[in-house]
Structure 1
């Protein structure tokens, strides 16, 4: 097989312009960046949530307690436009949570606990949250189809 090069009538080679190709590549890159869904990367807390067949999506705007399988407690909350996350222990959870809830209009607390945690431990955290001033407690789960 013989591959022939196409030439113009005036015997000059065809020059492929690179500027439009670069523009197309940048447009594709921007499209894929915008179209990609991102996970919540600022948490950094490894929690294996229990599964549920009930699907109710709530956005956490105020206070979230994250309980790891090693019984570490993280409080994630909004302060103005800034999202903050602090590590507390069970002894100072009530005091710190009361301080955060006193500065907040919404007194709802979402508890995201690892599924391997003891039920009694979760109840203790719920009790401490109520004593700190939480008016509504929600348990976070993963939706199972």
Structure 2
């Protein structure tokens, strides 16, 4: 694409260069791609309780159970192809589904991410169902206040 030269009153020609503009646009694109963080729980309206304990970074090789404030239970796991999947579960099929996912996971640990407004009894029920499904360790997910 050839740009037409613009005639100036002083007799010189003015050429519109867009190469620096393209460079700046790509630099801004790279900056925003690197600076953006994505919250894994943004689709699930879960407000975690606060904790002063430092959060340990975990790889998603374990099974994660998400509970929102309406007591909807979701399970997040990594399938055989390495893709992370999330499914909503009923409590009647919870034990069978979680035990099936724990058999194929590297770790038998389960992370529970529950909204802070959920009553304690429901979380205890979820934890007992996880133990029944064969979970060796149950971790409670919190937001760090540091």
Structure 2, unmatched stretches of 5+, are 1-7
Report the alpha carbon displacement of residue 73 of structure 1 after superposing the two structures with TM.
0.3
Please give the alpha-carbon distance, in whole angstroms, between the structure 2 residues aligned to 1:128 and 1:40: 27
Q: Secondary structure, in 3 states, of the residue corresponding to 2:44?
A: coil
Q: Deviations over 1:67-122 (max 9, x none)?
A: 01111000000013211100001121111100111112211100001111111111
Please give the alpha-carbon distance, in whole angstroms, between the structure 1 residues aligned to 2:131 and 2:11: 82
Structure 1 segment 58-137 matched on structure 2, within 5 A:
58-61=57-60, 62-79=62-79, 80-137=81-138
**Larger radius of gyration, structure 1 or 2?**
1
Aligned match of 1:46: 45
Report the alpha carbon displacement of residue 17 of structure 1 after superposing the two structures with TM.
3.3
User: How many residue pairs align between the two structures?
Assistant: 137
TM-score (norm 2): 0.83
TM-score (norm 1): 0.83
Please give the alpha-carbon distance, in whole angstroms, between the structure 2 residues aligned to 1:43 and 1:82: 18
Structure 1, unmatched stretches of 5+, are 1-6
What is the RMSD of the two structures over their aligned residues, measured on CA atoms? Answer: 2.1
